[in-house]
A = this chain, B = another copy of it.
Amino acid sequence: MKSARSKAELGPAPGETRDREEGLAFMPKFGADGLATCVAIDASRGDVLMVAHMNEAALRATLATGVLHYWSRSRGALWRKGDTSGQTQTLVELRVDCDQDAFLALVEVGGDGGACHTGRRSCFYRRVETDGDAARLAFIEPPMARG
């Protein structure tokens, strides 16, 4: 006997969730804004360089060329990382998470070895320090020396 529950109550069909999470089909899921999060990791050092966004075109271009492409939310444009900065990112491996709406890109960095437009290796160069209700930042990585 068929369930009388509506599709909204059921959510995705059980088979669909299982396929997405346990299957071998690549079914990238983009949000209502057409974007998915991509975390870039330094393939040799293993640390997080940056968090950015990809739309479907950026993902396709990344896989087709082996060079990281993102979607720039501030400029509203496809962005081949390194085009202006020289800080290219060559794809070593792309991973996808359980529900296929986030990517992990293991990359080799070109140019000066940095990923951040502020001149640092990683965009995550400050930590949050709390004191009661107050929160302040502290630097953990200085800018790289510029040649």
- By size class, the interface of chain A is 35 or more
Residue from the list B48, B117, B120, B126 in contact with A39, Cβ < 8 A: B48
Contact: A97 with B140, CB < 8 Å? Answer: no
Nearest CB to that of A21 among chain B residues?
B118
**Contacting residues, chain B, for A93 (C-beta < 8 A):** 127
Residue A130 at the B interface, CB < 8 A? yes
Copies per assembly: 2
CB proximity to B under 8 Å, residues A61-82: 63
A51-B63 contact given A123-B98, A140-B95, CB 8 Å threshold: no
Q: Is A109 at the interface (CB under 8 A from chain B)?
A: no
Q: How far is the CB of A24 from chain B (nearest CB, A)?
A: 5
Check B135–A63 contact: CB distance below 8 A: yes
Asked if A97 and B51 make an inter-chain contact with CB atoms under 8 angstroms apart, the answer reads: yes
Residues of B within 8 A of A51 (CB): 37, 39, 97, 102
Q: Is A23 an interface residue (CB 8 A)?
A: yes
- The A16-45 residues at the B interface (CB cut-off 8 A) are 21-26, 37, 39, 41
A47 touches B46 (CB 8 A): yes
CB distance from A116 to the nearest CB of B (A): 6
Q: Give complex CA distance A48, B49 in Å.
A: 12
Which listed residue, B23, B25, B48, B120, touches A48 by the CB 8 Å rule? Answer: B48
